[in-house]
Amino acid sequence: MTPFGRRMRELRAARTVTLTDMAHALGVTPTYLSALETGKRGRPTWAMVQRIIAYFNVIWDEAEELQRLAELSQPKVTVDTSGLSPEATELANLLAQDIRHLPPEAVAELLGRLKILRKRA
């Protein structure tokens, strides 16, 4: 599941909206929406995110958060480390190799540390 998919599912659950009802309202198939939620489909387009924002009638911070989550929800990521240090290349490769085997606590810890480091930069 992607960060965007998780949030979309939370919004649907909070409003007791079925996947089928939402899909029909947005003019897409339930299969497409399910794939967005589960991460089997790539990041949604800007236009689709805007339709989902309008569908849920969210504004300001919550709308911005949905857009941000959509941008971070590409399930197949490519990392270009050309021109970076050997350590950066090693980090990218180790993460690609091992992420499936990391326990959720380790993923949460790494994500938290990266967020802290981004704020410092």
**What is the model's pLDDT at position 75?**
83
Provide the pLDDT for residue 37.
92
Q: Is residue 78 part of a domain?
A: no
- 116: which 2 tokens? 């802290």
Based on the fold, state whether residues 18 and 62 are members of the same structural domain: yes
Do 55 and 25 form a contact (C-beta atoms < 8 A)? yes
pLDDT at 77: 87
Residues 16 and 66 placed together within one structural domain of the fold = yes
Q: Looking at the domain assignment, is residue 22 inside a domain?
A: yes
Residue 121 has pLDDT above 90, yes or no: no
Pair 7, 44 in one domain: yes
Q: pLDDT class for 28, splitting at 50, 70, 90?
A: very high
| 14 and 67 both lie in a single domain | yes
Reported confidence tier of residue 13, pLDDT bands at 50, 70, 90: very high
Residue 75 is encoded by which pair of tokens? Answer: 């399930």
Residue 102's alpha-carbon distances to 16, 77, 108, 119, in angstroms, are: 33, 17, 10, 24
**94 pLDDT higher than 90:** yes
Examine residue 76 and state whether it is found in any structural domain, yes or no.
no
Could you list the residue range(s) of the whole structural domain that residue 98 is in? 86-120
Residue 80 is assigned to a structural domain of this protein: no
> What's the pLDDT score for residue 61?
94
The number of folded domains in the chain is: 2
pLDDT value at residue 91: 94
Q: Does residue 29 or residue 42 have the better pLDDT?
A: 29
58 plus 26 within the same structural domain: yes
Average pLDDT for 8-31: 97
Asked whether residue 46 is domain-assigned, the answer is yes
Establish if 38 belongs to a structural domain: yes
| Whether residue 23 is found in the same domain as residue 62 | yes
State pLDDT tens for residues 33-81. 999 999 898 899 999 999 999 999 999 999 999 999 999 998 888 999 9
CA angle at 112 for the pair 107 and 113, rounded to the nearest 5° = 100
d(CA 112, CA 23): 34
57 domain-assigned:
yes
